[in-house]
Amino acid sequence: MKGKILVTGGTGYIGSHTVVELQNSGYEVIIVDNLSNSRADVVDSIEKVSGIRPSFEALDCLDYDGLDALFTKYQGIKGIIHFAASKAVGESVLKPLLYYRNNLVSLINLLELMPKHGVEGIIFSSSCTVYGQPDILPVTEAAPTKTAESPYGNTKQINEEIIYDYVKSGAPINAILLRYFNPIGAHPTALLGELPNGVPQNLIPFLTQTAIGIREKLSVFGDDYNTPDGSCIRDYINVVDLAKAHVVAMDRIMEQKQDEKVEIFNIGTGRGLSVLELIHAFEESTGVKLNYQIVGRRAGDIEQVWANPERANKVLGWTAESSIEDTLRSAWAWQLKLREDGIQ
């Protein structure tokens, strides 16, 4: 065993895939999740995929005493991967204080407890939203952060700064900030995937729900952007590739290979795809036709952003490997499995 890792938000979409990859790599995993946006039976699915049942505690990271007791119960946790957060951009605009409380206080609690319990490192799940609309594409880690378009995006920026300031103050911890681009797809077994509550906020679950008939049609927000086909461009990364980036980042912390106590890496493919290209790729790779319509632009949407992942490629030794076709087929297989299981 490589050591014990606490994964907050570990029954969520990215969290559950990361738990599997950590287990495959030899880490012992403890999940903490308040199940506000996920289901407890995800733990069963993780066990089916990896053959190992992770420890699970239903707990809110806002509960300082509860977290303190958890670190005491599971002696010897060496690293944390912090996914637990409220994450709907639109909702954050309507409920900013909820987002600031959930996303900031949960991190502060963990950071405060790390030295007390001898936890060496933390990986923070950040986002390309911190770049806003970049001046230069593809975007590198040296690009300036810009004023956030939403309270959600702002919590990512503030949390990065909290980690920097805490380490600068002399805290005996190390950190890696992973700035993800747009995670999509599902596990190739179709046992794990994205299961949003209610109407999906993200493109791919809405797209697959439209393809299977849950939603009437998919709206494409704007076809008058300054892009080749007029629709927004994003860097879509396979969720399993993304999960593997967390494993190599944790290895780097545990093996004390960091050049600095806080490091930042962009986690993307380096390829920008437009929304319309993604729709056509889905239709071609699955053979399923989509009912979609062009509507007006959506407030707060960035025109185009994709990663320069060279630093992650060279320093972490990590590369996104999955093709967009395989990734979209995995998302469709997951949607079909949900239908088969009577979930959606």
Q: Are 274 and 227 in contact (CB under 8 A)?
A: yes
pLDDT at 299: 79
Peptide bond into 200 cis (omega under 30): no
Burial class (CB in 10 A: 0-12, 13-18, 19+), 251: middle
Could you tell me the sign of the dihedral formed by the alpha carbons of 148, 246, 75, 50, in that order?
positive
When pLDDT is cut at 50, 70 and 90, the band that residue 182 belongs to is very high
Average pLDDT over residues 80-84: 98
Q: What is the mean pLDDT of the chain?
A: 96
| Catalytic option among 13, 152, 180, 236 | 152
pLDDT higher than threshold 90 for residue 90: no
Strands annotated E in the chain: 3-8, 27-33, 55-58, 77-82, 121-127, 174-180, 182-184, 218-221, 233-234, 236-238, 262-267, 273-274, 292-295
Q: Residue 193, SS3?
A: coil
pLDDT higher than threshold 90 for residue 89: no
pLDDT at 120: 97
pLDDT higher than threshold 90 for residue 19: yes
Burial class (CB in 10 A: 0-12, 13-18, 19+), 188: middle
pLDDT single digits (tens) 194-231:
998 888 888 999 999 999 999 999 999 999 999 999 99
When pLDDT is cut at 50, 70 and 90, the band that residue 1 belongs to is confident
In the chain, where are the structural domains located? 3-184+236-267, 203-234+270-340
**Cβ-based neighbours of 145, under 8 Å, separated by 6 or more:** 130, 131, 132, 157, 160
pLDDT higher than threshold 80 for residue 190: yes
pLDDT single digits (tens) 241-298:
999 999 999 999 999 999 999 999 999 999 999 999 999 999 999 999 999 999 999 8
Q: What CATH fold (topology level) applies to the domain 3-184+236-267?
A: Rossmann fold (3.40.50)
Q: How far apart are CA 177 and CA 158, in angstroms?
A: 12
pLDDT higher than threshold 90 for residue 300: no
Q: How far apart are CA 288 and CA 185, in angstroms?
A: 16
pLDDT single digits (tens) 95-132:
999 999 999 999 999 999 999 999 999 999 999 999 98
Q: How far apart are CA 50 and CA 71, in angstroms?
A: 24
| Token duo for residue 40 | 């407890």
Q: What CATH fold (topology level) applies to the domain 203-234+270-340?
A: UDP-galactose 4-epimerase; domain 1 (3.90.25)
When pLDDT is cut at 50, 70 and 90, the band that residue 236 belongs to is very high
Annotated active-site residue 100? The verdict is: no
Write down the residue that tokens 């299977």 correspond to: 212
pLDDT single digits (tens) 314-334:
999 999 999 999 999 999 999
When pLDDT is cut at 50, 70 and 90, the band that residue 8 belongs to is very high
pLDDT higher than threshold 80 for residue 344: no
pLDDT single digits (tens) 47-65:
999 999 999 999 999 999 9
Write down the residue that tokens 């990065």 correspond to: 160
| Token duo for residue 121 | 């490192």
When pLDDT is cut at 50, 70 and 90, the band that residue 88 belongs to is confident
Percent of the chain scored above 70 by pLDDT? 100
pLDDT at 100: 98
Q: What does pTM read for this prediction? A: 0.97
Average pLDDT over residues 144-169: 95
pLDDT at 15: 98
Q: Residue 18, SS3?
A: helix
pLDDT at 240: 98
